Amino acid sequence: MSYKIAVVGATGLVGQEMLKILHERKLPIKELYAFASFRSEGSFVKFGEEKIKVEEARPEKIAKADFALLSIGEEISLEISPEVAKKGTIVIDNSNAFRMNPDVPLVVPEVNPEDLKEHKNIIANPNCSTIQMVVALYPLHKKFNLERIVVSTYQSVSGKGKDAVVELLDQTREFLNGNKIEPKVFPYPIAFNIIPQIDNFEENNYTREEMKMVRESRKIMHLPNLKISVTCVRIPVIRGHSESITATFSKDFTLEEVYNILNKAPGVKVLDSPQEKIYPYPLFCDGKDEVFVGRIRKDLFEENTLNFWVVADNIRKGAALNAVQILEEIIKGG
Give catalytic residues, as residue numbers.
128, 241
| Helix or strand holding residue 152 (H, E) | strand 146-155
How far is 277 from 294, CA to CA, in rounded Å?
10
Could you tell me if 78 and 18 are in contact, meaning their C-beta atoms sit under 8 angstroms apart?
no
Closest of 55, 75, 74, 60 to residue 7, by C-alpha: 55
Could you tell me if 236 and 190 are in contact, meaning their C-beta atoms sit under 8 angstroms apart?
yes
Residue 93, amino acid:
D
For 259, list phi and psi in degrees, rounded to 5: -60, -45
Query: 6 pairs with which residues across the strands?
Result: 33, 68
**Residues 6+ away with beta carbon under 8 Å from 312:** 128, 131, 132, 135, 240, 241, 285, 290, 291, 292, 318
How far is 90 from 83, CA to CA, in rounded Å?
11
Question: Do β-strands 146-155 and 241-249 pair in parallel, antiparallel, or remain unpaired?
Answer: antiparallel
Residue 24, amino acid:
E
Question: Do β-strands 50-56 and 268-270 pair in parallel, antiparallel, or remain unpaired?
Answer: unpaired
Residue 200, sorted as left (phi over 0), alpha (psi -120 to 50) or beta, turns out to be: beta
Distances (CA, A) of 123 to 3, 70, 85, 184, 253: 18, 10, 10, 33, 35
Torsion of CA 124, 153, 209, 221, to 10 degrees: 40
Query: 247 pairs with which residues across the strands?
Result: 149, 306
Question: Do β-strands 146-155 and 67-70 pair in parallel, antiparallel, or remain unpaired?
Answer: unpaired
